[in-house]
Amino acid sequence: MVKSSSPSKFSFNRIVLKFLDYVERIGNKLPHPATIFALLAVIVAILSCIAAMLDFSAIHPISKEIIKVSNLLSGDGIRWIYTNVINNFVEFPPLGYVLVVMIGIGVAEGSGLFNIMIRALVLGAPQKLLTGSIVLAGILSHIASEAGYVILIPLGALIFNAVGRHPMAGLAAAFCGVSGAFGASFLIGADEQIIAGLSTPAAQILHPDMIINPAVNFYFMFFSAIFIIVAGTWVTEKIVEPRLGKYTGTAPPIAIDQLKPLEKKGLKWALLSLLFVIAVLAITIIPENGLLRNPEDGSILRSPFFDGIIIGIVLFFIFPGLVYGIIVGTIKNDRDTIKHISRSIADLSGYIVLVFFAAQFVYFFKHSNLGIILAINGADWLQSINLTGIPLIVAFVLLCAFINLFMGSASAKWAIMAPIFIPMFMLLGYHPGLTQAAFRIGDSVTNIITPMMSYFALIVTFSQKYDEKYGIGTIISTMLPYSIVFTIGWLIILVIWILLGLPVGPDGPLYLK
C-alpha cells in the first residue's frame, strides 16, 4: 500500500480499502455476465406471466391506447421465443457494428499503427505538457478498443519513470484518460455506435420512427474531453504525485526509444492516407449534391453518410493501417492483412457469447411490454413526488456510477437500463440524447476504482512491475481522487449545460418537441 503523507489521508484510504474489499467480495460472487443475462431473460418471462395474471397495464400517453403485458409463458409467447431466438441475436444492433469496425481496427492494430501513434503523441510533447499529453492520448485511445489499456497505461508509467517522475503517477494519468474518461471523446468511435444502437430500440418503444445517431452526444463529449484533460492533469500533479512522493522502487529507468526513420516514414504516409480518406468522404457530404447526402431533402444528419458512418470509421482504420504496415514491413501480402483481421475478430469470441444472451433479454423485455408499462408508471410516480428536472438527472448519473461498481461493461449496463430509463425520461419530456449523455458520465467516473472493470487486474499487474507490494488497494487509493473530481466536475458541467439549454450533439436537443 502506498504510504500517505498524513494520518487523515491514511485513515481515509483505510476506509476506502475496506469498502472496496466488500465490493470485491460481492463482485466475485456474481456469475459470468452471460449467465446474468440468461437469468434476466428467464426472470422477464416469469414476470411477464405474473404481470399478465395481475392485469398490469398502462395508458399510452400519445395514442391513449391501453398497453397490456404480453405473457411470454403463454402458448403464443413460447412460440414467439422459439421462432425468434436466432433473429434476436442476429438483429441485435451492437453485434454488427462491432464485428464490422473490428475489421478496420484489426488492420490498424496488427500493423503497429496504434502503437506508433501513441508513442509519437506522448514522446513529442514538451515536459510541461507531458501529463496532459498522456491524458489526451488516453482519451484518443478510445477509438482503438483495448489498445489504450495494453499499450498506453504501461507506457505512461514507463515514460514517467524515464524522466525521473513516479511511475505510478504516469500509470494513473494514462488510466484516468483511457478508462475514467470513457464518456468523453474528440472523435466518434465504435463505442458511440454501440451505445446509440442500444438507445434506438429503447426510444422506439414510444416513437417507432426515432433513430439515435452515433454523434448525438458529440458536442457534450468534446467539451467533456477538454475538462478531463484539465482535471486529470491537475489531480495528477497536485494530488496524486505529491502523495506518492519520490519513487524508491527497484525498477530502473528505461530509456525510451525514439521513432526510427522507417517508423516516421510509415506514420507520415499513414497520415496522408487518412487525409485522403477524409477528403473523399468530404466530397460525398459537403457539396449540396453530395452522393451521401439525403437524396430527398439534401440534409446531412438524416443521410446515408450518418446511417452508414460505421463504414467511414472502418475506412479511417484500414487505409492508414495498410499504408503503415506495407512501409514498415508488418504487412507483406494479403495473408498478413487477413491474419490481423482474424486475430481482432477472434478476440471478440467472449463478446459474441455475451451478446447472444443479452439480445434475448433485450428483446424478451421489449416483446413483453414490461418496459413501456414500467416507463409510463415510473414517469407518473416521479412526477407525483416532484423528482424531475436537474435533481432527477443528477440522481440518474449517480445511480449509473453506483451500478458501474458491480457491472463493468457499458453495453451490458445500457442494454438493461436503456429500455427503462429512455422511455421514462421521454415521457418526462427529455430527449434520449440527454439521458444517454447522463449515462455516459456515470458509466465513466467509477471505472477506475472498481475491481469489476475487466482490465483492473491487468492494471495491478502493471503497477507491480515497479513495486511487488502494490495491489488493489494501491490502485484504488491512487485513482479515487480522479473519480471524485471527475464526478463533481462533470455533474457541474452537465447542470450548466442543461441550464443553458445547449444541445448535447447533432440531432440531440435536450427536450422532445
Q: What is the per-residue pLDDT across 169-191, written as a single tens digit (0 to 9) for each?
A: 999 999 999 988 888 888 776 67
Sole residue written with cell 453506483: 402
- Which pLDDT value is given to residue 17? 47
* Range of lowest pLDDT (33-37, 215-219, 484-488): 33-37
DSSP reduced 3-state for 67 = strand
**Residues, the chain, total?**
513
Is pTM beyond 0.85? Reply is no
| Percentage of the residues of the chain whose pLDDT score is greater than 90 | 28
Stretch 442-466: mean pLDDT = 80
**323-342 b/e (C-beta count within 10 Å ≥ 16 → b):** bbbbbbebbeeeebbeebbe
| 74-107 pLDDT tens trace | 999 999 999 999 999 988 766 777 788 788 888 9
Neighbours of 134 (CB within 10 A): 34
- Which pLDDT value is given to residue 92? 79
What does the alpha-carbon distance between residue 416 and residue 81 come to, in Å, rounded to a whole number?
19
Report the DSSP beta bridge partners of residue 430: 511
Q: Would you state the torsion angle of the CA atoms of residues 115, 120, 121, 126, taken in this order, to the nearest 10 degrees?
A: 150
CA angle 498, 503, 509 (to 5 degrees): 100
- Which pLDDT value is given to residue 265? 92
- Which pLDDT value is given to residue 12? 55
The full set of domain ranges for the chain reads 7-500
What's the one-letter identity of residue 265? K
Inform me whether the pLDDT recorded for 27 exceeds 50. no
| 335-385 pLDDT tens trace | 999 999 898 888 777 778 878 888 888 789 888 888 778 777 776 676 677
What does the alpha-carbon distance between residue 113 and residue 119 come to, in Å, rounded to a whole number?
10
